[in-house]
Structure 1
Amino acid sequence: MTDLADTVTLPPVPGGKPGPDPAEPAAATRAGALEAEAVSAWFGDRKVLDRVSLAMPAREVTALIGPSGCGKSTFLRILNRMHELIGSAALSGRVLLDGSDIYDRGRRITHARREIGMVFQKPNPFPAMSLHENVLAGLKLGGVRAGREEKDALVEECLTRAGLWNEVKDRLRQPGGALSGGQQQRLCIARALAVRPRVLLMDEPCSALDPTSTRRVEETIAELKSEVTIVIVTHNMQQAARVSDSCAFFLAEQGTPGAIVEHGPTETMFGAPTDPRTADYVNGRFG
């Protein structure tokens, strides 16, 4: 059920296109700086992250790299309050969006999810919904109201930003499941963008895609970063080098919880890392 206190209307702007909530900043300035402060995480008695601190600057792409099982995806889920959905999960520390803790008591989880969107490893369009309905699904769940013209314009805007409009504009009433894997992933990106997030989290968004689809998603990431802060988990070191501005290398050694070994500008992380473990990982000597 939608919390009426979270209901938002997208007002029209000249030309009939939808605009953001008037209480929110313009799209060009909406991208938010995200920062984790001493974040630790547990599943039951097992500690999986240990005091992770990381600044993720606005309008940049931050890549989280490291071997499987070192806590990257857990950390990503903590950044938009998905970790707490697991019954045995617990955490400590703070996650700040432009200085405001998203875990503050009284801050609605729906508000955090609107501001910090998520794209998952496997494309997950709603198969019974059309492409048009898929893009707008987040608005309905979030209680956002808009007229038909505003919705149509928003669908075009988000599919264009996701690099998919020209491929699907003549079949918007077809089911989302009819698209190729790469197109489905870009549809999911469009769906995430429709609620106008300030940050977009991406958990290995290209791991199930062919090289051509991967390149198109990477192009979409490059086009979006001027408007939306992006944090991406990837096991593909070439991808991390291509798309990110900065990297954080996670590692869990000999049963210890995951922690950040090193973080910094991508060029430095790949060209002159300070920790030999980072050099070994980015050069493929383990992982």
Structure 2
Amino acid sequence: MSTTNEATVSSEQSLAALPAPSAALATEGVSAWFGDHKVLERVSLAFPLGEVTALIGPSGCGKSTYLRILNRMHEMIRGAALAGKVLLADQDIYDPSVRPAEVRKRIGMVFQKPNPFPAMTVYDNVASGLKLSGMKVADRDAVVEDSLRRAGLWNEVHNRLRSPGGALSGGQQQRLCIARSLAVNPDVLLMDEPCSALDPTSTRRIEDTIAELAGQVTIVIVTHNMQQAARVSRSCAFFLASEGSPGHIVEAGPTEQIFGDPHDARTADYVHGRFG
């Protein structure tokens, strides 16, 4: 993977005012702690614009922690600490001049368990993304429809927009959460094992949605499903941790290489199911 060049940015500049870099998002030397426990060691990685990158590795190697660092959710945990840089549009999102709410508007998150507002209607679930981010739009109906279409859900719910979001199936709820994130038109969408609680049919629909979104938004997905990583991503990063050693990247590169001709024997062992 390529890396972005660090740029000095005036503290008065907002993220929205900055030109697009060669990578949508990048980290430089990111390390993380929970109290005295170090969970990540100097992770440097760049995510190409409009592509899907899969983060793979055994449980406990820091993948989900790293994902949460990418939109400033890590700092919400008591005792959490961070070193290094996370660059969006070549500006460090942890700079004191950058508001967390602005970061999370541009870098959305879809969690492992679908979390729509259960008593809120399908329509209001999607529109809530606009309200929470403070975005004003001329045609809210059009934004809701477009977001549901991009999430691959419109044809299934267009006659049920006033029904509770909690009445949808699990797979539909997850796509509703994707639509809610897309409503604010993010640059990056983070997905933390979005299919782990879903049946095979719902998983396929989520994967189809990811494929359709590729090119429109940069996607970073954490998955333990190696077949899924191979299907949906163009790039992969293999994380590993061991007793006494925090999570770190063993190898990163094009998905075809990681699965077909990895440089490190540990990568080959993991993607072929010999451990983890």
Report the residue type matching 1:141 in the other structure: L
Instruction: Confirm or deny: 8 A CA contact 1:121 1:208 kept in the other structure.
Output: yes
Determine the structure 2 residue equivalent to 1:279. Answer: 268
Instruction: Confirm or deny: 8 A CA contact 2:21 2:89 kept in the other structure.
Output: no
CA distance in 1 between counterparts of 2:101 and 2:200 reads 35
CA distance in 2 between counterparts of 1:24 and 1:51 reads 26
Query: 1:190, CA displacement in angstroms?
Result: 0.1
Which whole-Å deviations, capped at 9, do the CAs of 1:84-112 have from their partners, x for residues lacking one? 00111000000011211111121111110
Determine the structure 2 residue equivalent to 1:104. Answer: 95
CA distance in 1 between counterparts of 2:238 and 2:248 reads 8
Report the residue type matching 1:102 in the other structure: I
1:113 and 2:104 matched = yes
Determine the structure 2 residue equivalent to 1:208. Answer: 197
TM-score, reference length from structure 2: 0.92
1:95 and 2:86 matched = yes
Gap change, CA 1:265 and 1:286, over 3 Å in 2: same
1:252 and 2:241 matched = yes
Which whole-Å deviations, capped at 9, do the CAs of 1:128-150 have from their partners, x for residues lacking one? 10000000111111112235xx1
Structure 1 segment 156-235 matched on structure 2, within 5 A:
156-235=145-224
1:50 and 2:38 matched = no
Query: 1:30, CA displacement in angstroms?
Result: 10
CA distance in 1 between counterparts of 2:30 and 2:152 reads 35
1:140 and 2:131 matched = yes
Which whole-Å deviations, capped at 9, do the CAs of 1:254-276 have from their partners, x for residues lacking one? 23100000000000000000100
Determine the structure 1 residue equivalent to 2:5. Answer: none
Determine the structure 2 residue equivalent to 1:14. Answer: none
Q: State the number of aligned residues.
A: 261
CA distance in 2 between counterparts of 1:285 and 1:272 reads 16
Report the residue type matching 1:252 in the other structure: A
1:77 paired residue among 65, 68, 73: 68
SS in 2 for 1:177: helix
1:265 and 2:251 matched = no
TM-score, reference length from structure 1: 0.88
SS in 2 for 1:145: coil
Query: 1:24, CA displacement in angstroms?
Result: 9.1
1:152 and 2:134 matched = no
1:34 and 2:25 matched = yes
Unaligned 5+ segments in structure 1 are 1-21
Instruction: Confirm or deny: 8 A CA contact 1:31 1:199 kept in the other structure.
Output: no
Structure 1 segment 58-77 matched on structure 2, within 5 A:
58-77=49-68
Query: 1:114, CA displacement in angstroms?
Result: 0.6
Instruction: Confirm or deny: 8 A CA contact 1:35 1:54 kept in the other structure.
Output: yes
Determine the structure 2 residue equivalent to 1:19. Answer: none
Query: 1:32, CA displacement in angstroms?
Result: 5.9
Equivalent pairs: percent with the same residue? 72
Report the residue type matching 1:179 in the other structure: L
Instruction: Confirm or deny: 8 A CA contact 2:22 2:48 kept in the other structure.
Output: no
Unaligned 5+ segments in structure 2 are 1-15
